[in-house]
Structure 1
């Protein structure tokens, strides 16, 4: 049994389920003891009004027991969020938001593990730089899931990554561009490519059609995920405008409600907001085609989108914008578009069988990914 601490950018139990959540669960189900720790809440967060921040505040400084071997913890720091802390960090190389967490984090570690010494510290969140100095770990791994500096439009992230990498024993990237980025900072460190996986059983087991779909008669195209600058929302809207006979469904938190108001007259465009992770497979399975319309944002070059395999596990062919990373995956039932309208209609006309689409996707399960990470850590 290993004692493992994940330091993640996303808390468990919110609207987004990310790779660290799946890996933490997989490790816990293999019998290891796991703490999943995410970016702290600060006093500045209390000034924000969005739903996700309110959820995070409500859960902060409390132990969320996921199962017998796994807890999730959102710490509270009297420091500042990274967006305000980064000038101080760039000058002093001290991340006070993390430094102020020392006693709380050590208290949680001691309580759950019965010792302050852990086996693996796996860091996904570069803005938690400094955490590697607060924890006594036998093996430290930096697991980068994105080109963070480009995704956040924040070059200070590069300094944070460089300083984390000075203290780690190994590097994991979830895509080739991400792995190339972090290994360039220290080519001598052991490294491994572990692409994001899928909870195959969760997405593939058949579910009843959502009641809401009774109003969406006809073909259904669906997008489920974050609605931010990495998404080409205009492509989705254009799809709905050009194909009135296709219901275009968007699932994900919509921060700008004026978008929904602006297109309320498009009767085949449906912004459903957040859908619980447990209910999401039903919405996917009873659609006809999945959408992954990526914008030209530089961060998309390094993405290893989990939803790609979640779509496929649900039996949906995927229509997406081409990136080198996705082309290199060389997966069946992924269709790259220049004209999203044309490609969506072509894919719908193929009338692909869902069982054929989901075939062989089970090999990307998180259990297998966790074993790859474990073997890598053991051999460091």
Structure 2
């Protein structure tokens, strides 16, 4: 029997510090026996000239298709103009790489990768929105994808609702966790030091002011922030350490040395639709979690998830989280229900029934 062929058209490649949902789905689908290609947003000459992508990051990203240890073929095209400008076409890029442009399923989460050739790559085209696009070019391209897609699988109910009425089957599958990667060794059964940690993007969706306020009111606690950022505040409290970008392979070690995982989300409207992967990664690593409340993140104190919706509540949530049992074994059990293996089987079953 011929192995199914699956193509992911994704917003992020796998050669940087972050892992996104499409990376995990690609790995798990490959382990299930599929031939998987993962093509991400092209790196344009304009992006390189304007330094929107650091030179070191460009050099670390292969120009040619690379097959990883799980058998997934990763492609990061190079273009002159950024998408959707220029003449880039997905089918042409696949053919140039010697990859047959026919698949049993195509899953696209990056509107900027949409062009008419994508519809012809498979009889099963699935749009997998991961974010809110209230306006602009991504909103326009998203409408084009929905009009041609066979199904929609969103990462949150808010993201699905934002698409409006749909004429195709739809499903919500929230982001999950690589349990084997983040599970602890069990050597921390007697508790962990009072360290609070955040790992992730440090863009407009991150609330630096909240971290600074926490550090000011908890001077005896260390706060560790890891992630790439060009705009770190010039003055931070002495008990805040900024590590910069951390390789994905090293993230579990950092989490296992902490007690609390932070999700200090800003009031950026896009946060309302997020399904933060970090929530379940923190829990799988045995941390309690303090997060700004959103439609996708709710208070669950039994599982060690403490949410806030105001400054006063934020400080109280952190205080409560610091006194919660450590390591957070109840949270670990909760995370076990969100493994990528089961989510991939659910997604594959849904697509197989189209």
TM-superposed deviation, 1:359? 1.6
Kindly indicate whether the alpha-carbon contact (under 8 Å) linking 1:121 and 1:141 is maintained by their aligned counterparts in 2.
yes
Asked if 1:235 corresponds to 2:206, the answer is no
Kindly indicate whether the alpha-carbon contact (under 8 Å) linking 1:102 and 1:134 is maintained by their aligned counterparts in 2.
no
CA RMSD of aligned residues (A): 2.4
State the match for 1:66 in structure 2. 68
State the match for 2:9 in structure 1. 7
Kindly indicate whether the alpha-carbon contact (under 8 Å) linking 1:98 and 1:129 is maintained by their aligned counterparts in 2.
no
Q: TM-score, normalised on structure 2?
A: 0.90
Kindly indicate whether the alpha-carbon contact (under 8 Å) linking 2:303 and 2:334 is maintained by their aligned counterparts in 1.
no
> Aligned partners of 1:248 and 1:131: how far apart in 2?
47
Residue among 76, 89, 93 paired with 1:104: 93
Residue among 337, 359, 362 paired with 2:336: 362
Stretch moving more, 306-315 or 361-370? 361-370
Residue among 150, 168, 182 paired with 1:203: 182
Kindly indicate whether the alpha-carbon contact (under 8 Å) linking 1:132 and 1:140 is maintained by their aligned counterparts in 2.
no
Question: 1:294–1:200: structure 2 CA closer, same or farther, 3 Å change rule?
Answer: same
> Aligned partners of 2:116 and 2:27: how far apart in 1?
22
Aligned length: 346
Stretches of structure 1 lacking an aligned partner (at least 5 in a row): 86-94, 210-216
Residue among 248, 255, 259 paired with 1:284: 255
Kindly indicate whether the alpha-carbon contact (under 8 Å) linking 2:226 and 2:242 is maintained by their aligned counterparts in 1.
yes
> Aligned partners of 1:178 and 1:134: how far apart in 2?
22
TM-superposed deviation, 1:117? 1.6
State the match for 1:245 in structure 2. 220
State the match for 1:144 in structure 2. 129
Kindly indicate whether the alpha-carbon contact (under 8 Å) linking 2:91 and 2:117 is maintained by their aligned counterparts in 1.
no
Alignment of 1:245-264 (within 5 A): 245-257=220-232, 259=233, 261-263=234-236
Asked if 1:181 corresponds to 2:155, the answer is no
Asked if 1:345 corresponds to 2:319, the answer is yes
Question: 1:144–1:267: structure 2 CA closer, same or farther, 3 Å change rule?
Answer: same
State the match for 1:23 in structure 2. 25
> Aligned partners of 1:53 and 1:310: how far apart in 2?
30
Alignment of 1:159-170 (within 5 A): 159-170=140-151
Kindly indicate whether the alpha-carbon contact (under 8 Å) linking 2:5 and 2:105 is maintained by their aligned counterparts in 1.
yes
TM-superposed deviation, 1:75? 0.6
TM-superposed deviation, 1:126? 0.6
TM-superposed deviation, 1:332? 2.5
State the match for 2:196 in structure 1. 221
Question: 1:179–1:133: structure 2 CA closer, same or farther, 3 Å change rule?
Answer: same
Kindly indicate whether the alpha-carbon contact (under 8 Å) linking 1:15 and 1:276 is maintained by their aligned counterparts in 2.
yes
Q: TM-score, normalised on structure 1?
A: 0.84
State the match for 1:212 in structure 2. none
Residue among 240, 250, 273 paired with 2:244: 273
> Aligned partners of 1:334 and 1:293: how far apart in 2?
13
TM-superposed deviation, 1:164? 1.0
> Aligned partners of 1:271 and 1:358: how far apart in 2?
26
Stretches of structure 2 lacking an aligned partner (at least 5 in a row): none
